[in-house]
Structures are given as structure tokens and as C-alpha cells.
Chains A and B, each alone.
Chain A
Amino acid sequence: MTDTPAQQPASLFGPDSQFHRFFNDPRWALAVVRATVMEAAHPQIGAALIDNSSFVMHPWRRLRNTLVSLQRMFGPDEETRQREAARLNRLHARLSGTDARERPYDAMDPEVRAWVVATLFESSVTMCRLSGQPLDQATMEQLYAEFRAFLDVLTDRPDHLPPTLPEFWRYYDRVVEEELENTEALQIILYKLFDHLPAPPVLDGLPTVWAAGRALAGPLIGTITVASLPEPFRRRAGLPETPGAQVLMQSVYTAVGLSRFLPDGWLRTETLTNLLYLTPDSDDPQAAALTAVRDRMKQAGALFRLVAPLPEQRGPAEPGGGGAPRGSGEFFTAVLDQTGDGYLDWPDLASMAREVASRLDLDEPEETRLYNAYAAWWRELQSDLDSDGDGRISREEYVAAVPSLAGPALIRVAEVLFDVTDADGDQVIDAEEYRALFRTGFRRVVGGSGGSCSRSAFVKEFLSFMAGRQRSTAYDPLLTGA
């Protein structure tokens, strides 16, 4: 990494930027939720989210990808930024279609993209206001310039966000007044996402702890977010005015804001999301400490259960299944239906391709190859399994036809996946390449005796996961992880 202090545009990004000040601010978590709600209220974005996003099923993965992306965009390195912008553009170019009312949406629409950046900026400013530490005019202007530069890197035309701050506020108010709607995506984020939020991978083994926390936090986050939305929008969208919600919202913002008195480095968004995203069994060095904490919690749980008074029950013996292969219905829900709408269609497979592409940080033409392989698989699935011809595959259709799943197109996916994972092209996946894809080192991979994995072993493992429905220490965290 080279610092280029002489270069004027680069100085808007990097560690000294206003953006970086917020990035590790815990209030930002609230602000990002709010920004996402404001985004989802835009009809085009809402439709794109409903159709394509896997955030309901895999919110943690999505969150992490977003943060990594933002960090690259606002980081000091110009080259990384340009690459990330190109990647984001390719990603969004694949998202277009029509919504339920046949209105077209397109993630590349410049106005749409401007709105996304606008909500992030506005939510950051509002976050400061709500917690009683408003930004001064100069800081606000600098932050705005940074976000405008962000949009500038993404699109070649910066003029979709107004050049000055006063004009921005007029633009913002106009969109809120005229364009936002009470979309389905907004409803889902506000009222479904947090009530059903799956446990982050790290808490996966502790469902009770997670469910208890969520039952409290879910409605709380919903209420706080609604209360922080602009009043005109709340009125138009018919969102509830809960008594005391304003006070609650401001108290929470203020309380979270107090964390600025914590010593430096205690709260780092990056560390936090990485922690949440860790699979406890992975061999990442950070996982060790985390596993220790988790183990203590498990021990406490075990002790609690053991000393709790014994409810006298004589239930019949139940067969306990540990690592048994899952049923095809379960596989459908856990792996295939990435968007969680109960059907398997292209966005589900695209979401898998997207996850693999971002993990491996693929460039062109590999990324397109991967998507094409998934697309060919989708066509194969559609022609083989879609018996009622509605263009998508229901759970029932899938369960009825499972044996025919490992067709030539799926094998092709496995091969392409091998090719793109094999970054140095030496026809073996070495430990480092393996780690890039699965975020964990070699385990007991079939035939992986020498610390590497051959093409045939890799393809075999992939197929046995996708078709044989064998559980896999590697693919399960990749494709089912929330």
C-alpha cells in the first residue's frame, strides 16, 4: 500500500476520512439498518431486494460482504477501490427484472445508485443528530464530498447526487416525499428480518441463547428504526407511532454513542463482524479464543441442565441422529433456497455464484465463467425438475426428482469452481487456495493427504455435497451459513 498524499482525490478516502471515523462507531449499526430500510422503501431497490437478495436467509454473510466492500471502497488504496467498484458494477449489472406490478427495476440505474449512497450519508448525519452530537457544517460537507466521491468511483457520472449540501437536502426530501413507498422489502426488514434473524455462525450451536436475545432485541430494533425514519415517510407508509418510541430511540442512540468514551480499539466493526462470521470450528487463530468463550457457555448450559430438577418423564427412546445425511427437503431449505422464498429459481443460484465470487475475489473473465456455469446448471435443473412449468422449482418438485440432480451441468459447475479456486493454475488446490474459498484449512478432505486437493477429489466432494446431500465441513459453512 502506498500513500499518495499529493494526489487530491485520494485524500477523500483513506484512514483520515470522516467515513472512517464512523466505521468503527457502534451507532453505525443502527444507522446502517435505518439506511437499509430507506433503501428498501425505494420501489426499484425494494423489488431488486425481494427478487435477488439472500439477506433474509443469510443476513450475516450479507452484512460482512457489505462491510468488506465499503472498506475497500473507502480504503487508502486506489487500485483496490477501482477493482471493487468494477466488481460491484458487475454484480449489480446482473440484477434487473420487473417487480410484482410489472414495473421494471435495474440495479444499474444511476438514480437508484445515487439513492443508496444518499441514504448512507443521510443516515450517518441523522445518527449523529439523534444521539445529541450533531456534526458541524464543515464535517458534514466533507462527509458529503466523500460519499459523492464514492458514487463517483462507482459510476462515471457524479451528477446524480446534487453538488452542494443544500441542494442535497432538497433532493432527499423530494425523494422521501414523492418516490418512497411501503414496499414489501421494507416490511420484511422491519418486521420479519429481526424476528427471524438466524443466529450468526458463531452462535449456531446455542439456539436457546440466541432465541432469547432475539425475542427481546427484534421488536426493539424494529421500533427504534421506525421511530428514526423521517416523519413524512412514516405518515405516507402508514408506519405505527408507538408511544414512547421517540424517547426510546433517542435514548438508545445516545447510550450507544457513549461508547466513544471506551478506550481506542475496543470496538472495531471489522473485528466484530469477523467474529460473528467465524465458524467456531474453523482453524482461524481468532476462532480459538472465541471457541473458548463458547465452550464456557456450553459448559454453563450443561451444568445448568444437569443440576436443574429432574422433570419425571418416561418418554420412549428417540433415535438421535448426529451427522446423518439430511433429507432432501432439508437440503432444499438449507442450501438451495438461498433467498428463502420457498422456491428454487435463478436468484438462488446466482446468490451462490455471488458468494463464491466474492470469497475468491474473482475478476473477469473467471467471474462470468462461474456465473455461466451456474446458469447452465439452472437451465438443466429447470428442464429436469420444473414439472408444472411455472419457471421455478418448488420444494415438492425437488424432493420428487432428487436422484437426477447430478447432471452434466452440475459437474461442469464443480469443474469451473475448481478452476477458479485454483488461482495459480497448477491443477491442485493447495491449502491457501482452499482457505480462500472455505475460510478454513484442510480437514479430513478426501484424498487430501499431502495438504492439497486434486481436481477429481474436489469435484467428488462437491458432487457428494450437492447431490448426495452429504454434510460437509467445508461446504456447509459456505452455503448454509447465515
Chain B
Amino acid sequence: MDNLAGQKTSLSIVTNLAVIFLVVIWMIPTVGLLVSSFRERAQISETGWWESLFPVEAAVRVRPSAAGAGMDGAYGVLTGNLFEGGTGSVSAFGLIGREPGAAKVGETYAWYEVTVTEDGALDDERIEIAYPAGEEPQFPDTTADGLPITPGSGVLQRSLTVAENGDFTYIDEGEISRDPSIYVVTTQPPDFGLQNYQQILTSDGMDRAFINTLTVTVPATVIPILIAAFAAYALAWMEFPGKGWLVAAVVGLLVVPLQLALVPMLTLHNKIGIGQSFLGIWMAHTGFGLPLAVYLLRNYMIGLPRDIIESAKVDGATDFQVFTKIVLPLSFPALASFAIFQFLWTWNDLLVAKVFLPAGSDSWVMTVKIADDLLGSRGGDWGILAAAAFVSIAVPLLVFFFMQKYLVRGLLAGSVK
């Protein structure tokens, strides 16, 4: 028995680990985009979202204004702060874009003209050196190419000293009239916020798309439920010839690909004057949602206790009364299940919206907005894309987590017989 029990624990550890592993794999994509939607956009392209809790090191070019420059002998001097009121900390800096971190903070980075000996002849060459700020510059014996430098021949061309807080001193030959280019490697604290959401909801038109989606979804969810409920009652509790064939037809229509309907129905809509419009998409979604609605509701209603319905009829209730007073309230779980399905389906739909709604940006729903507009115009701007994605999936996720019970029940009723 001991042995058996031991096996069981090791198996249960393996099971737990396996499930944790699968859940993590399943969550990573969503979590990644969710985290990124809150990050400052420049930081997204600097470090991966998995490092988003650590400070970000980024090389940036700063061009402080030359306006405050003074003179010190033959040299122009400019001092100031690179962050100009902002915050951040400098870890390294430089004067050329190829080497933005040529010198570490606390050092002075300088260009000197020195005399070198090349093939026995003397020549002038520029060397770049970094040395502790405030000390005398230390010249190397040779240049980077290995040419010997004549000691004491250095003439300062340009130098830069930057402190961690961004204070800098820039020295150049002659008067400083143009803004200098300074490269700094800064370390910025993680920057989370709602800027991306703010931007897409105010200036990028996602607010309009959200309202359009809502406008499409609500009537397209409510109307089919009503129509389907009556039909389902007739198919479940009324007797008439051809009933069996109608039920079979509904089952058959469940799998008709809606692609078939696109061209003929759009042509018809155009012919009768509905054209591409909200009215058209409500009607289309109603038609496409009906087979599942009728099927789910009929399956549920037929399982209601026969006695209740028959005794009501014996007491003189009409079918209409039986339906509205007894069957409809009892069918609430099935109605809720279908409502969630239809809501998720219409909210998330791209195809029907592309075909049955006008092509103008005024009537874009969120899926169309993301797929046809943002992905093209904001291709690499992940902060914006991520925020847009989460604006569009927030409502379905809320519905999912709060109404999961009905969703699961509906799935089970829809596919398991």
C-alpha cells in the first residue's frame, strides 16, 4: 500500500507541474501584449516585455540649445542639463552615433589632435580619449591603428563631461553657434501608464469604433433570441405536419458556411435599398445566428417537464400564454447561453462587418479598425496596437469571466447529445 500511495504523490506532482506548464504557455501571449499595452512606447522597442520591470537602457541623441554658450579663451563652452527638467540617469555618453556610450558617466570624453609618426613621417591625427573628469588627460602611447604618438603634442578639439543627473559641460574650438549633438545612454525607470489607451481612445478613433461595435452587437443579439424562442417553442411543443423536416433543416443549416451568403445577400441588400448599413448587418447577423439559436433553445425547451405545460393547457392557457408565462422564464439558462454566444460572435466578427457595413471609417467596428487600419498605418507601433487590442477584447473577457457558467452550459447543450 505504501508503494501505491508513493506512486500517487509523484504522479500528482507531475500532473501539477504539467498543468502549470500548459497554463503558463497558454497565458504568455496574452500577458505579453497586456503588459506592453501599459508600457511607454519607446521602452517597448528597447527591451522585451519580460524585462519590463527592470530599468530600460536606451541610447538617445540630445541636442541642447547652443543659446547659452559662452567663451573661455579660444574655446566655446556650453553647460546645462540634458534632461531639461525631466528625470533619468545617464550611464554613458559620447559624441558619435556609432558609439553612443564611448565614455562612462563621471569621465570626460575628448577629441585631441595629436602628432603621430607614420612610415617615418610626421602626421596629424584625431584621437578620442576618456579620462576621469577633473583630472589631466592621459594620452596613450599609440593610436588605435598602432601609430606612435608624439608625447605632449595633443591639442584639444572638443570635450564633453556628463554627470549622472544629466549635467554636462561641452567644450568646442571656437564659438558654439549650432546645437551640438550629444549621445547619452540613459537608464530610465520602468514607465507604465495609460498613455497608449488615452491616445487610441482620443486621437486614433478607437472610441468611435467601440461605439460602432456596440451598436452592431446589441440589436444583433436581442432580435434573433426573440425570433428563435418562438420558433423553438413551436418545434418543441406544438404538433404540426412537417415538424421533423424543419428540425432537420435547422440542423443542416447549422453548418452552412456563411461565406455563401455574402455575395447574394449584399446584392439583394443593394437592390432593395438597404445597401451597406447598420440595418443590413443587424439583419444579416440575425439570419446567421438563428440556426444555433433555434437548435439550442429547442433542445432545452423539449427537456422541460411535460406535466407543467400540459396542465397549463388543460386549465385553458393558450399556446401564447404557455410560452410567455411558463416556457420563456424556465428557459432562462438556455437564453443566456445563446445570448453570450451571439454576443461574442457578433462582437468579434470581422467578415460580416467588412461586407455588410459601409467601407468608410465612420462605420468601422473595432475588428475592422484594427485589421484594416491600425495594422497598416501603425504597423510597428506595438504600444498603440496592444492598447487597441485590449480595448476590443475587454468586454468579451468580462462577459467570459462573469458568465462562464452559461457559456459552458451552452457549449455542452450545443455539441453533446
A and B form one complex:
no
Which residues of B line the A interface, CB within 8 A? none
Which residues of A line the B interface, CB within 8 A? none
